[in-house]
Structure 1
Amino acid sequence: MEDIQERIATSFNSQGLMATLGARLVSAADGEVQIEMPFSTQLSQQHGYVHAGAITSIVDSACGYAALTRAPLDCDVVSAEFKINFVRPAIGERFLAIGKVQTSGKLLAVCTGEVRALSAGAWKVVAIMQATIVNVRG
């Protein structure tokens, strides 16, 4: 278990975008990764919601890192495709992206993800993703 957390944390900490977004790795376990991001006006769009690009970035990373927990040790991962549905405006104090592996094989993993927003003490889902992640060697 500690090897998984170290592997994911090392890669996560090397991502400039996650640092720019103020995101942090919350947890990494076999097949599931959670990433949290605080609200910032620097990440907002014209209506004051967190921009779809920021929400997409954290859930894409959560899905990718969930896939990395199942990837061979000599592989890294990249996103091949994803679909995201925004089910309500991204309004909240904090946002939690949860990526989960649904199935994985030698080359591909299919993951689902969701982003929850914390507002007034309650969590609500704001986005849902399905992603295909590819193992890449070297």
Structure 2
Amino acid sequence: MFHGGVIAALADTAGGYAATTLYREDVSFLTIEFKINFLRQAKGEKLIAKATVIKGGATLTVAQTDLFTVNDGKETQVATSLITLMKASR
């Protein structure tokens, strides 16, 4: 069983990496808003995240991450999140 904190951390990390795919240069992002819905208990052999950028912008980017457990090769969605990220200046 995966802990909710682990699920949330993976959701945030995957959303951040998805946001970086919009830029050629090395950029980093800060999470400024994060919402997660836990859909069911996360019992499984593996936990995977699939993140998609909903809207990319010059300053703010919104990403959605869906999280799944894997049991005997079958994926079951256990959570979904919506993340707003701000492009960090270097």
The correspondence for 2:6, drawn from 54, 60, 66, is: 54
How far off its partner does 1:72 sit?
A: 6.2
SS of 1:124 mapped into structure 2:
strand
Q: State whether structure 2 residue 47 is matched by structure 1 residue 95.
A: yes
Structure 1 gap ranges (5+): 1-48
**What letter matches 1:70 in structure 2?**
L
Aligned alpha-carbon RMSD (Å): 1.3
Counterpart contact for 1:90–1:126, Cα < 8 Å: yes
Greater relative contact order structure (CA < 8 Å, 6+ sep)? 2
How high is the TM-score relative to the length of structure 2? 0.93
Moved over 6 A (4+): none
How high is the TM-score relative to the length of structure 1? 0.62
**Number of aligned pairs?**
90
How far off its partner does 1:73 sit?
A: 2.0
Q: State whether structure 2 residue 75 is matched by structure 1 residue 123.
A: yes
> How far apart in 2 are the matches of 1:71 and 1:81?
21
Greater fraction helix? 1
Correspondence for 1:110: 62
> 1:62-95 CA distances to partner (integer Å, 9 max, x unpaired)?
0011011114625311111110000010100001
Query: Aligned pair in 2 of structure 1 residues 74, 93: CA closer, same or farther (>3 Å)?
Result: closer
SS of 1:89 mapped into structure 2:
coil
Structure 2 gap ranges (5+): none
Identity over the aligned pairs, expressed in percent? 33
Counterpart contact for 1:71–1:135, Cα < 8 Å: no
SS of 1:92 mapped into structure 2:
coil
User: Whose radius of gyration is greater, 1 or 2?
Assistant: 1
